[in-house]
Amino acid sequence: MDKYKDELVETALALCAPGRGILASDESTGTVGKRLEAVGLQNTADNRRDFRSLFYTAPGIGQYFAGAIMFHETLYQSTDGKGQEQTPFVDVLVKQQDMLPGIKMDRGLKPLPNAPGETFTEGLDGLADRARQYYEAGARFAKWRAVIKIEPQLGLPSERAIEECAHGLAMYAATCQAHGLMPMVEPEILIDGAHHIATSAHVAERVIHHVYASLHRYNVLLEATLLKPQMIMPGMSCETRSSSEEIAMFTLRTMRRVVPPAVPGIMFLSGGQSEEEATINLNTMNSLAHSGLREWRAPWSLSFSYGRALQSSVLSLWKGDPAKVEDAQRLAVEVARVNSLATLGKYQG
Ligand code: 13P
């Protein structure tokens, strides 16, 4: 890791620079296929490439995005070129948009044995070799998603699911740092369920606390990591809905309790929130963090690494129509811009 130490820290700082966030465009082939099929497009390599290309080549989008997370296939793809020379996506990001390429390192979720309803993340086998290859291909940061489900009646999350999540994230983070990839640490706590916001906060505290204990045991350099958590919110089917202020307060309180100040940035996922909600909640959090009140002070950047909340409306506008590319790109830049404002607490709705 020593060989890459300075570079890793610089990567982490660049990715959470004020006013910039991360585009999570790393849906697996199956998941992006579902999104494409929902707007009537087939799940072909060309359609996947065109969808990615729309974002990566949108004029000016790099002002608001410091990086993009990619799936294996996308990291090696190029622009269509339309009969002209094709440009590798990595070059588009780095040279045209001043963005850093990132790579999804996990291989998805599998049922956790003897733990009904819970999952663990696959992908530790061969991780070092893949990290080396991806660095050579131009990736500079990585992501690994672990998923925790809340279901209090069934005692979920179990202690074992939390341990598995923390262990996987720590092994991954240590391995990535050894090979020059700055690890984003993603313990996603699903918003499915009817639980109250206080339950989400309690579970998140438990999970994130375990994750940092594990990162410590694996000697992960925290200055060269970013956290990618869910915001603290009530379960999707909970009857008591929370205001943006309540979500911001619970989220900040939780993060202040368990995320060390050595971590430079917290890059939230959108996790099923609408585009508008994700922007407003991030903005409220930053307004609070910048309010000067001691109890809400945040030692880390609070930014975004959204997938659906940056792409959904753009995909619905584009629907694969070449005549709509420019409009869709303008919309992509606008969605990125408002989230950039939200990282500064300056979004006005
Ligand atoms: P969403 O913002 O759509 O939740 O996706 C972010 C992500 O990268 C999940 O792993």
- The 10s digit of each residue's pLDDT in 128-152 is 999 999 999 999 999 999 999 999 9
At 219 the pLDDT is: 98
For residue 8, tell me if it sits in a domain. Answer: yes
> If you measure from the C-alpha of residue 21 to the centroid of ligand 1, how many angstroms do you get, rounded to a whole number?
13
Catalytic residue among 104, 143, 149, 228: 228
Least confident of 39-48, 64-73, 75-84: 75-84
> If you measure from the C-alpha of residue 292 to the centroid of ligand 1, how many angstroms do you get, rounded to a whole number?
30
For residue 272, tell me if it sits in a domain. Answer: yes
Q: In ligand 1, which atom is closest to the CA atom of 278?
A: 2
Which residues are paired to 151 by β-bridges?
Answer: 156
Check pocket membership of 306 for ligand 1, CB cut-off 6 A.
Answer: yes
For residue 31, tell me if it sits in a domain. Answer: yes
Check pocket membership of 23 for ligand 1, CB cut-off 6 A.
Answer: no
Question: How many folded domains does the chain comprise?
Answer: 1
Q: Taking the CB of residue 2, how many other CB atoms lie within 10 A of it?
A: 8
Q: In ligand 1, which atom is closest to the CA atom of 27?
A: 8
Catalytic residue among 27, 164, 186, 275: 186
At 349 the pLDDT is: 84
At 26 the pLDDT is: 98
> If you measure from the C-alpha of residue 253 to the centroid of ligand 1, how many angstroms do you get, rounded to a whole number?
22
Q: CB within 8 A of 290, min separation 6: which ones?
A: 345
Check pocket membership of 77 for ligand 1, CB cut-off 6 A.
Answer: no
For residue 155, tell me if it sits in a domain. Answer: yes
At 280 the pLDDT is: 98
pLDDT at 1 over 80: no
User: What is the Cα–Cα distance from 27 to 162, expressed in whole angstroms?
Assistant: 24
Check pocket membership of 104 for ligand 1, CB cut-off 6 A.
Answer: no
- The 10s digit of each residue's pLDDT in 312-336 is 999 999 999 999 999 999 999 999 9
For residue 349, tell me if it sits in a domain. Answer: no
> If you measure from the C-alpha of residue 23 to the centroid of ligand 1, how many angstroms do you get, rounded to a whole number?
9
Domain of residue 300, residue span:
4-344
Q: Are 165 and 115 within 8 A, CB to CB? A: no
For residue 184, tell me if it sits in a domain. Answer: yes
Q: Identify the CATH number of the domain in which residue 262 sits.
A: 3.20.20.70
Q: Are 258 and 316 within 8 A, CB to CB? A: no
The residue whose C-alpha atom lies closest to atom 5 belonging to ligand 1 is 307
- What is the rounded average pLDDT of the residues 55-66? 98
45-56 vs 29-38: helix crossing angle, rounded to 10: 80
For residue 170, tell me if it sits in a domain. Answer: yes
At 309 the pLDDT is: 98
pLDDT at 269 over 80: yes
DSSP 271: T
pLDDT at 2 over 90: no
Alpha helical stretches, state H, the chain: 5-15, 29-38, 45-56, 72-75, 89-91, 97, 127-136, 159-178, 197-217, 244-258, 275-289, 308-318, 325-343
At 334 the pLDDT is: 98
- The 10s digit of each residue's pLDDT in 294-308 is 999 999 999 999 999
Average pLDDT over the chain reads 98
228 is catalytic: yes
> If you measure from the C-alpha of residue 276 to the centroid of ligand 1, how many angstroms do you get, rounded to a whole number?
15
Q: Are 22 and 11 within 8 A, CB to CB? A: no
The residue whose C-alpha atom lies closest to atom 1 belonging to ligand 1 is 307
At 22 the pLDDT is: 99
Percent of the chain with pLDDT over 70: 100
186 is catalytic: yes
Give the chain's length: 349
- What is the rounded average pLDDT of the residues 236-254? 98
Question: Kindly report the CA angle at 322 between 320 and 323, in degrees rounded to 5?
Answer: 120
At 83 the pLDDT is: 82
At 81 the pLDDT is: 84
Least confident of 15-29, 74-88, 223-237, 268-282: 74-88
Q: Is 121 helix (H, G, I), strand (E, B) or coil?
A: strand
- Cis preceding-peptide flag for 157 (omega within 30 of 0): yes
User: What is the Cα–Cα distance from 227 to 214, expressed in whole angstroms?
Assistant: 14
Residue 19 zone, left/alpha/beta (φ > 0; ψ -120 to 50; rest):
left
- The 10s digit of each residue's pLDDT in 251-261 is 999 999 999 99
For residue 189, tell me if it sits in a domain. Answer: yes
